[in-house]
Amino acid sequence: MSRRVKKPLAKRGPDGARGKPARAGLGAKTGKPGTGKAVAGKPGAGKPGGATPPRDAKPLRAGGPSKTSRGEGAGRPPRSGDKPIRFGAGPARSSRPVGEGRPRPAQPAPVETRERSEAKPDAPLPTKVETVTVTADENGMRVDRFLEARFPGLSFSHIQRIVRKGELRVNGKRADSKDRLEEGQSVRIPPLKLDTPKLPGHLSEAEQKTLQTLKAMTLFEDADVLVLNKPAGLAVQGGSGTTRHIDQMLEVLRDSKGQKPRLVHRIDKETAGCLLVAKTRFAATALTGSFRHRSARKIYWALVAGVPKPKQGRISTYLAKDESEEDSIMRVAKHGDDGASHAVTYYAVVETSGQKLAWVSLKPVTGRTHQLRAHMAHIGHAIVGDPKYFNIENWQLPGGLQNRLHLLARRIVIPHPRGGVIDVSAPLPPHMLQSWNLLGLEHDRFDPIEHAPEE
């Protein structure tokens, strides 16, 4: 009589249960509490004004992670020593990547605390021009990170200023803050200085007025993030002949350590609407990462000449900059042209005023200079009041409308650095509100571009 050999029992897990181990990444599909999926992005992300989206439209996943941000470990079998996943054991931690298979260990110290503890003692700032050599440890480091590492007390704005003005040179040539350094290169460093912290009680009368102006422009603010409603005509950064701009105004918001809020992105001088600002270095890193991974969503409103056909579409071109002594303009280029970058924009007609004008909602997937303005002109429906790209012959502005750029950065939806979602909308600026009222356009209507495809 043959004896039947029994298979060994499955190894007990830490909780005493036998059986197959839980699959890593399962929580990313279920969305149940405790799975690690960020749930804070759901409210209001795709239903402005409570309107019901079209049945055939794909909802815009404003608060969710981008495709490139999913955990790489999703679906792997657990390694030895892994604890089984206990679904529903507690609230979801929104800072945990979707698809992460293992429970996260105890929460580490805040990023800013780690940076302070790991930072080297502040090096003396050069009082005259110095030339230093890039070491092996600094090989591949970005120019701005190189300066931050060498001089920890140096402010971000000061670094950007000396790089933008060409005062910092690498092997005798101008450098960009994002350029990578190589071992052995010589870096010319100009005289540096620490920015003095300015407390509200020590601001001058002019600075107090600037502070009040910024407060009046504020749409959202907390300890890490500031969203401003930038008025049309106010530049974001300085340039030739520009003396007043947002970056300069932010000087009055320096904290007790001398850190100034940092611009996360830019919008054109004549464009009104949502402008995102990081108040801490931690927030700046997280928010710029969201833009880089395209998990930030931006919605623009514009008034254009004529009515685009079809009424919803996708514009995909390459754009390159043509520069002259007096001006610069973006042109549609071919793939492979010098300086050409791919640009993608979704558009949707919201409402029309006869066949003369149309209110369109725009969603840029990429973030090229003047992208929306160049794209709308490219399809023959330039934005009203655009001094650079409006070139339609024999077209007259309807009476009562101001000849100013009719473009608004209407809404921004982006993951908050510490969990949850920032979702802010800006009202129409005065000149656009006047045009909407004159044309009988209802600015509180459902915005169909909210449900455009993500790519």
- Region 39-62: mean pLDDT is 40
Q: Is the confidence at residue 427, as pLDDT, over 80? A: yes
Name the pLDDT band for 196 (thresholds 50, 70, 90).
Answer: low
Q: Is the confidence at residue 449, as pLDDT, over 70? A: yes
Tell me whether residue 333 is in a domain: yes
Together in a domain, 336 and 415: yes
Q: Name the helix (H) or strand (E) containing 228.
A: strand 225-230
Q: Is the confidence at residue 121, as pLDDT, over 60? A: no
340-375 confidence digits (pLDDT tens) = 999 999 999 999 998 999 999 999 999 999 999 999
Together in a domain, 246 and 175: no
Last residue within a domain, chosen from 132, 155, 189: 189
Together in a domain, 381 and 256: no
Q: Name the helix (H) or strand (E) containing 160.
A: helix 156-164
- Region 274-298: mean pLDDT is 92
Residue 181 CB: number of other CB atoms within 10 A? 20
Name the pLDDT band for 24 (thresholds 50, 70, 90).
Answer: very low
Catalytic residues: 268
Last residue within a domain, chosen from 258, 289, 320: 289
Return the sign of the alpha-carbon dihedral for residues 82, 86, 89, 90.
positive
Total of domains in the chain: 3
pLDDT score for 345: 97
Angle between helices 143-150 and 156-164 (to 10 degrees): 130
pLDDT score for 328: 84
CB 373 within 8 A of CB 386: yes
- Region 140-164: mean pLDDT is 80
pLDDT score for 235: 93
Last residue within a domain, chosen from 189, 213, 246: 189
Tell me whether residue 373 is in a domain: yes
Most confident of 43-52, 106-115, 136-145, 375-384: 375-384
Position of tokens 């833009």? Answer: 291
CATH number at residue 130: 3.10.290.10
Q: How many CA atoms lie within 13 A of 157 on its CB side?
A: 24
Together in a domain, 314 and 439: yes
Position of tokens 């590492």? Answer: 149
Together in a domain, 310 and 406: yes
pLDDT score for 184: 93
Together in a domain, 169 and 306: no
Tell me whether residue 432 is in a domain: yes
CA separation for the pair 49, 53 (Å, rounded): 11
Together in a domain, 362 and 411: yes
Average pLDDT, the chain: 76
Q: Of 204, 250, 206, whose CA–CA distance to 228 is shortest? A: 250
* pLDDT greater at residue 174 or residue 21: 174
pLDDT score for 123: 55
CA separation for the pair 340, 331 (Å, rounded): 9
Tell me whether residue 28 is in a domain: no
Together in a domain, 283 and 305: no
Q: What is the pTM of this model?
A: 0.61
Residue 251 CB: number of other CB atoms within 10 A? 15
Q: Is the confidence at residue 285, as pLDDT, over 80? A: yes
Name the pLDDT band for 454 (thresholds 50, 70, 90).
Answer: low
> Judging by beta carbons within 10 Å of its beta carbon (0-12, 13-18, 19+), is residue 455 exposed, middle or buried?
exposed
Together in a domain, 262 and 300: no
Tell me whether residue 248 is in a domain: yes
The residue segments making up the domain with residue 268 are 200-289
Together in a domain, 237 and 350: no
Position of tokens 């439209």? Answer: 57
Q: Of 100, 35, 30, whose CA–CA distance to 70 is shortest? A: 100
pLDDT score for 195: 56
Tell me whether residue 412 is in a domain: yes
Tell me whether residue 316 is in a domain: yes
CA separation for the pair 40, 63 (Å, rounded): 7
CATH number at residue 207: 3.30.2350.10
Together in a domain, 345 and 402: yes
